Structure 1
């Protein structure tokens, strides 16, 4: 079994400024020590620039690849390509790319962007094709709908072995089509397995989720509820975000939250591990798997058996969380190989 696991970097809005560089560096080191291939670095109008944060992660580690979120509205594709090649030139390190089509609705409107959902994916396809062509060393001429370039070439050139992995949201049909067109890995915010009409929700590509696992299921759920308590203010914020969001994954997860998990047939069995508490309380944007190492590993194995190859984990509050996740992936691998 070959899986790629990314962690996620803390956001500047959640950490006091004097402590933020240390928090980024520490999380990057934890992630590398836990065997993660990289660490997702968010971008939006309210947090520190992801490229500067990525450089902090690079200097704190030896091999970890920052997975930088790239919003086409923020910069020209040449600028993004130059960031990748410049970091490679300065540090000899790879940077992976998480291509965005959307974002917070109010962020886009504040920037004067009123592009509709599917057109945003078309824009991201055009943007990514220019960006990756530059990174491959091509001289690019293109008259596109959003960008026109003529005889454009990147310097310094990117070494071929540092060509980035490219990810993109794949929860919507437009997202999956975009992933296929640019050769990116589609990442979904997964619904519970077995909720599709045919009883088997397809996954493939990758998934974004959190994992809280311990040797004992009760302890795992205690940690989960302590970390993400019910919060009325957060629930109101979630409801407000839902009213303006056109993201498919946001609506899919909200619908999934309205379906109570099935009770275990064996009353002594663990509850279903899939949990949307953090999402419903506006504390995180991804579902969680919670329970004993074995139970969560069994659920992860089901995703793997359905073609999932990439897991993007939520922000780890401590190195132990990545250690527990690593135990889950080890047991899931053993289950898949068995």
Structure 2
């Protein structure tokens, strides 16, 4: 894929049988590399396999793909996170990128004894990331911080400068965008639609987290979308329960978009591609763009025109999905340059 930086997403261990999971990770990593993705996001939470071990599996299955490892400060000391990056570089000669987390599932954090408030979690992630990146740059770090205290700390083995990780962080909230600016990270948001009637005050630049289901024919794309993410009452109840306890800015933002859907398409035209069906049925946490290659590409081009540089795609169920996404980005790039 040419143009913007594109990441795919790794399957989660909770969704795949243990006997099949290593093969699923390796296959998705290979599909992603073959499709031209820069990397593959690897999730972390209390209910799935350790992302660093999953990342090593992805590295072993590919030649250049960079795992984008989700890093939760509650899980490990910043020295340990930096050591993981430098150790994988030492063992494999490969880069690992970092997706810094400030939040997560509330029950996961509470189970770990963490009840830190929303904005303070971002302040903690800033402090944590600054220590990690300073160590990776080869600095001797002394810091008497609010959450971490280190003295004359130095990383070994050292990280080659050319393997310094890209750093991403959630940027849907003002606290997230401020944190991104402070640590020099790319802010990634769950975007609102940019079609007709879009809010001109929506954030620009940075990255977006979306799914793409595109085919030559719009009807076929929507058939695949509804088959893959059918309406599910149990999922809708789970979504409603999650909304009641979540303090996530993006979660409530998307819920607001869902309450005000786009107007129906005119007769003979494609419907708006922006779709929150998977989000509303608790099947995925990002919006989807669905339709013909040209229609989805036109929507992606709007994000490109607003300076979006990074796209993090949802978990691909098959290699062909990344192929269709690549076609969308090729057409979007051509449209944005026209």
State how far apart, in whole Å, the 1-side matches of 2:41 and 2:67 are. 6
Shift of 1:337: 1.1
1:241-270 Cα offsets, whole Å, 9 max, x none, are 011100000000001001xx4346642110
Q: 1:323 to 1:194 in 2, by over 3 A?
A: closer
Deviates further, 240-249 or 189-198:
189-198
1:132-167 Cα offsets, whole Å, 9 max, x none, are 000000000000000000000000000000000000
Is there any run of 5+ residues in structure 2 with no aligned partner, and where? none
Q: 1:94 to 1:197 in 2, by over 3 A?
A: closer
Preserved CA contact (<8 Å) 1:31 1:322: yes
State how far apart, in whole Å, the 2-side matches of 1:33 and 1:268 are. 36
State how far apart, in whole Å, the 2-side matches of 1:29 and 1:117 are. 36
1:220-279 Cα offsets, whole Å, 9 max, x none, are 000000000000000000000011100000000001001xx4346642110000000000
Secondary structure of 2:138's match? coil
Shift of 1:193: 1.7
1:49-82 Cα offsets, whole Å, 9 max, x none, are 0000000000000000000000000000000000
**4+ residue runs of structure 1 moved beyond 4 angstroms?**
194-198
Given the two structures, how large is their TM-score scaled by the length of structure 2? 0.97
Given the two structures, how large is their TM-score scaled by the length of structure 1? 0.97
Shift of 1:198: 5.4
State how far apart, in whole Å, the 1-side matches of 2:233 and 2:199 are. 35
Shift of 1:194: 5.7
State the partner residue of 2:11: 10
Q: 1:156 to 1:196 in 2, by over 3 A?
A: farther
State how far apart, in whole Å, the 2-side matches of 1:210 and 1:30 are. 16
State how far apart, in whole Å, the 2-side matches of 1:325 and 1:265 are. 23
Shift of 1:197: 8.4
Deviates further, 114-123 or 185-194:
185-194
Please tell me whether residue 268 in structure 1 is matched to residue 268 in structure 2. yes
Preserved CA contact (<8 Å) 1:278 1:285: yes
State the partner residue of 2:233: 232
Shift of 1:106: 0.1
State how far apart, in whole Å, the 2-side matches of 1:282 and 1:265 are. 26
Preserved CA contact (<8 Å) 1:98 1:168: yes
Is there any run of 5+ residues in structure 1 with no aligned partner, and where? none
- Cα RMSD between the aligned structures? 1.2
Preserved CA contact (<8 Å) 2:265 2:272: no
State the partner residue of 1:321: 321
Secondary structure of 1:331's match? helix
1:292-334 Cα offsets, whole Å, 9 max, x none, are 0000000000000001000000000000000000000000011
Please tell me whether residue 280 in structure 1 is matched to residue 273 in structure 2. no
Shift of 1:195: 8.4
State how far apart, in whole Å, the 1-side matches of 2:308 and 2:103 are. 23
1:161-220 Cα offsets, whole Å, 9 max, x none, are 000000000000000000000000000000112688854523310000000000000000
Q: 1:196 to 1:95 in 2, by over 3 A?
A: farther
Preserved CA contact (<8 Å) 1:190 1:203: no
State how far apart, in whole Å, the 1-side matches of 2:144 and 2:286 are. 37
State the partner residue of 1:206: 207
Deviates further, 76-85 or 193-202:
193-202
Preserved CA contact (<8 Å) 1:100 1:169: yes
Preserved CA contact (<8 Å) 1:188 1:203: no
